[in-house]
Structure formats: C-alpha cells, structure tokens
Amino acid sequence: MGISAIVLGLLAWLVPALDWETQLMLFAILSLVSIVGWRLWQRRYPDETDQPALNRRGEQYVGRVFVLETPIENGFGKVRVGDSLWRVEGADAAVGSRVRVVSADGVVLVVEPADR
C-alpha cells in the first residue's frame, strides 16, 4: 500500500485538480493491484532458507526416537522432548516404549513403534 500512496501522491502533485473521491478510488485500486502483484511475485520467487522447518517445530522431530512419558491409550499419549511434553498419536503402547516420529500434525506428533 506504500507504493500506492507514493504513486497517488505523485499523481496528485502532477494533476492537482483530482477530487478526493477519485483519489480514494485510485488508492483502493492501486492497493489491490499491488497486493495481488506481490503475492504472485512471492509465489513465483519464494524466499529460500537454510532452515525450512524453523517455525514448524514438530517437523523438526520427524525421524527422531523418543520414550513415552505416558502410555498411548485410545490413540494418544505424551513424550518428553527437552523440557516439554508433546502430545503423540499412534498405536497403543506402554510407558517407556520407544517411538519414532513419522510426521507432525500441528502440535501433535504422529508416531510408530521404534522397533519397526
């Protein structure tokens, strides 16, 4: 929207007879065009990073093995990861069982027995 303001400011300077209704309409149109253009640009040229899972902590644990802190009953249990407990989803298993993280579904880690 900053681009729209600059363009409209230059246009108002060049054509001082523009009434405020026209300026408002042009600002709305230019803002919409700049937002759509920016989204298309971002989709075509995404930011590359050396840490693609930075803000998706659960995905960082895929492939790692953890020990169950609480049993998996009715499909859900908990594992300790560092100083926090994560909810896990998988086949029923006893406390102390080793499980491997196969995927992350939001804040829930999907696990399978590690002996597979």
Per residue in 91-115, pLDDT tens? 999 999 999 999 999 899 999 999 8
Whether the Cβ atoms of residue 102 and residue 64 lie closer than 8 Å to each other: no
- Residue-level pLDDT at 54: 67
Q: How confident is the model at residue 36 (pLDDT cuts 50, 70, 90)?
A: very high
What residue ranges do the domains of the chain occupy? 2-44, 58-113
Quote the mean pLDDT of the chain: 91
What's the pTM?
Answer: 0.56
Look at domain 58-113 and name its CATH class: mainly beta
- Distance separating alpha carbons of residues 87 and 78, to the nearest angstrom: 5
80 pLDDT higher than 90: yes
* Integer CA distances (angstroms), 52 to 46, 59, 100, 101, 107, in order: 12, 10, 21, 18, 17
- Distance separating alpha carbons of residues 93 and 69, to the nearest angstrom: 11
Whether the Cβ atoms of residue 95 and residue 68 lie closer than 8 Å to each other: yes
